[in-house]
Chains A and B, each alone.
Chain A
Amino acid sequence: MHHEYNIVGGDFTRAGYASSQVKKILRNLDVDTAIIKRTVIAAYEAEVNIVAHAYNGIITLDIDADSIRIVLDDMGPGIEDIEQAMQEGYSTASDKVREMGFGAGMGLSNIKRNADELRINSEVGRGTQVEIVMYR
């Protein structure tokens, strides 16, 4: 099963829409509640990262009998130092984004804590790809 969602950078009014669709799909498939909860946390944080940092992006969701795979591809500034970005509390978010309660440097660690597999590839000046895999 394959689904795709387009994400527009900077449009916070739509942030979380793709993640809510992912949640609905997993619920309809009767995926275990604990797995849905972890998937939703990881998907939302990764979706918000595109909205907060990138110009635009595509989220793809692929589900088979064994796994749930979410790939988030964005065109954006990229991440210079992924290890540093993974540190809890580190953030490059703007003041505006922080005032909304985002950008506390907790997003990537939330993803890491909840995903069964996490891969991040990034090219400065081009964009970032985040791959999240959950085992069913």
Chain B
Amino acid sequence: MKVKDIVHLLDLTVYSGEQGLDREVTGGYVSDLLSDVMGRADTGQLWVTLQTHKNVMAIASLKDLSAVLLVNKQKPDANTAEQSNEEGIPILGTTMGAFEVTGKLYELIR
């Protein structure tokens, strides 16, 4: 399943990195601890978090994640969105909390 399919099915906002909407999503990882994501997330996964600062994109890029999904109406910082555009890794948003949106994601991509 592609990032754009998930955006459509879960009615997500696309904040940045539109050119990466065709990336393939191979799974998901949910965490707000950056070292946890660094150590345990894997290539192609969609990262669900409430962290909005620029280091999120450094990790998404280093780990070759497919996209970042911000929960609870969080929006990316300006320099975070900028790096997302440069890397072509989309930042998405939802009004849902992590529990709810992760449940829906799991049904879609498990």
The closest CB in chain B to the CB of A98 belongs to B33
Whether B36 contacts A104 by the Cβ 8 Å rule is yes
**Interface residue SS majority, chain B:** helix
Chain B residues positioned under 8 Å from A44 (CB to CB): 38, 58-59, 62
Instruction: Name B38-77 residues within 8 Å CB distance of A.
Output: 38-39, 43, 49, 51, 53-55, 58-59, 61-63
A45-B35, A110-B38 known; A100 and B61 CB under 8 Å?
no
Distance A114 CA – B39 CA, assembled complex (angstroms): 9
A13-B79, A16-B62, A44-B62 known; A101 and B32 CB under 8 Å?
yes
Instruction: Name A1-51 residues within 8 Å CB distance of B.
Output: 12-13, 15-17, 19-20, 23, 37, 40-41, 44-45, 48
Chain B residues positioned under 8 Å from A130 (CB to CB): none
Interface residues on B, range: 10 to 19
B34 at the interface (CB under 8 A from A): yes
- Tally of A interface residues using CB under 8 Å: 23
**Interface residue SS majority, chain A:** helix
The closest CB in chain B to the CB of A47 belongs to B58
Whether A12 contacts B55 by the Cβ 8 Å rule is yes
Whether A41 contacts B51 by the Cβ 8 Å rule is no
A41-B39, A44-B38 known; A20 and B62 CB under 8 Å?
yes
Whether A110 contacts B39 by the Cβ 8 Å rule is yes
Most buried by B among A15, A16, A17, A113: A16
Most buried by B among A17, A44, A107, A113: A44
A12-B55, A44-B38, A113-B39 known; A106 and B62 CB under 8 Å?
no
- Distance in angstroms from B71 CB to nearest chain A CB is 14
- Interface contacts beyond A45-B35, A48-B34, A110-B35: sample of 17 additional A-B pairs, CB < 8 Å, sorted by A: A12-B53, A12-B55, A15-B55, A16-B61, A19-B58, A20-B62, A40-B63, A44-B59, A45-B38, A100-B53, A101-B49, A101-B55, A102-B34, A104-B33, A104-B34, A106-B39, A110-B38
Residues of B bordering A, CB below 8 Å: 32-36, 38-39, 43, 49, 51, 53-55, 58-59, 61-63, 79
6 A-B residue pairings within 8 Å (CB atoms): A12-B53, A41-B38, A45-B35, A101-B33, A106-B39, A113-B39
